[in-house]
Amino acid sequence: MAGEKEKVVAAAGGCCLRPFSCEQGLLSRPDGSAAFLQGDTSVLAGLYGPAEVKGSKELPDRAVLEVLLRPKVGLPGVIERSREQLLRQTCEAVVLGVLHPRTAITLVLQVLSDAGSLLSCCINAACMGLLDAGLPLSSLFCGVTCALDPNGAIILDPTTRQEQEARAILTFAIDSPERKVLMTTTKGSCSVEEGPCFPP
């Protein structure tokens, strides 16, 4: 809810996440906004919608969902484009776009600082932003990044250094009620058995 701050600090444990926190409704112009911090990684999400469709993207049966990921330095490149795709597909799975046909929902994600697990932080910021905007959602979702270090151990929510050392990095988007995987992406190589999946 706007003007409220939800703050959760994860309890320290063996295989733990970095402390994370979230601030919602911090921008005055967008219909919904949220900043999500995971350790030193943080992403700001601003969202407009359901709003007028720009151009000829209008869909007769559902809302057009547009995700823009803006890097801090330079213009969006190939990595941003591919992540935008992943994020859009994740959000589309959850947003009940059929309730607002012929409208556009624009989600802009601005990277504030990248210290590892950026994609999962984007997913979390997107979810909090959608929640703040009051868009109809079939469920909540969250993102988790895991890194497999050369020994095969799993590191949750890795930092940039851990990501560099890792053999493989896996990012999952998981929905809230049934803990189903909405989206997954892998970088590096890992065996099928190693494909871990655990909700936070």
Partner 1 sequence: MAAAEACVGQVVLPGDVLLLPAHPDEDGERLRLGGGAAPRGRLLCGPGLRRCAAGLLVTKCGLLRHRQTGGGAAAGGAYWVDSQQKRYVPVKGDHVIGVVTAKAGDVFKLDVGGSEQASLSYLAFEGATKRNRPNVQVGDLIYGQFLVANKDMEPEMVCIDSSGRSNGMGIIGQDGFLIKVSLGLIRKLLAPKSEIIQELSQLYPFELVLGMNGRIWVKAKTVQQTLIIVNILEACEYMTAEQRKQALAKFSGN
Partner 2 sequence: MTRSARASSPSSRPAMKATPLSNCERRFLLRAIEERKRLDGRQCYDYRNVRVSFGADRGCCIVELGKTRVLAQVSCELVPPKLNRPTEGILFFNLELSPMAAPGFEPGRQTELLVKLNRLIERCLRNSKCIDTESLCVVAGEKVWQIRLDLHLLNHDGNIIDAASIAGIVALCHFRRPDVSVQGEEVTVFTPEERDPVPLSIHHMPICVSFAFFQQGTYLVVDPSEREERVMDGLLVIAMNKHREICTIQSSGGIMLVKDQVLRCSKITAVKVAEITELIQKALENDRKVRKEGGKFGFAESIPNQKITTFKMESAAVDTNNVEEQAEEIITKADPPSEVFAKPILHTPGTAQIGEGIENSWGDLEESEREEAVEEEGESEATAFEVQKMETEDTSTLREAEKDEPIVLSDSEEEEVIILEPQELPTKARPQANLKQENTSKKAFNKRRRKKRAVR
Residue 37 or 135: which CB sits closer to partner 1?
A: 135
Give min distance, CB of 197 to partner 2, in A: 28
Give min distance, CB of 94 to partner 1, in A: 8
Per rule CB under 8 A, count of chain residues that contact partner 1: 31
Whole-angstrom distance, CA of residue 160 vs CA of residue 183: 22
Give min distance, CB of 5 to partner 1, in A: 12
Binding of residue 9 to partner 2 (CB under 8 A): yes
Q: What are phi and psi of 81, to 5 degrees?
A: -60, -45
Nearest-CA neighbor of 110 among 98, 118, 101? Answer: 118
User: By the 8 A CB rule, do 41 and 113 touch?
Assistant: yes
Residue 99 or 197: which CB sits closer to partner 2?
A: 99
Nearest-CA neighbor of 43 among 117, 94, 105, 95? Answer: 117
Written as six digits, the tokens of 140 are 């909540």
Q: Which residues bind partner 1 (CB under 8 A)?
A: 1-3, 31-32, 48-53, 94, 96, 99-104, 131, 133-140, 175-177
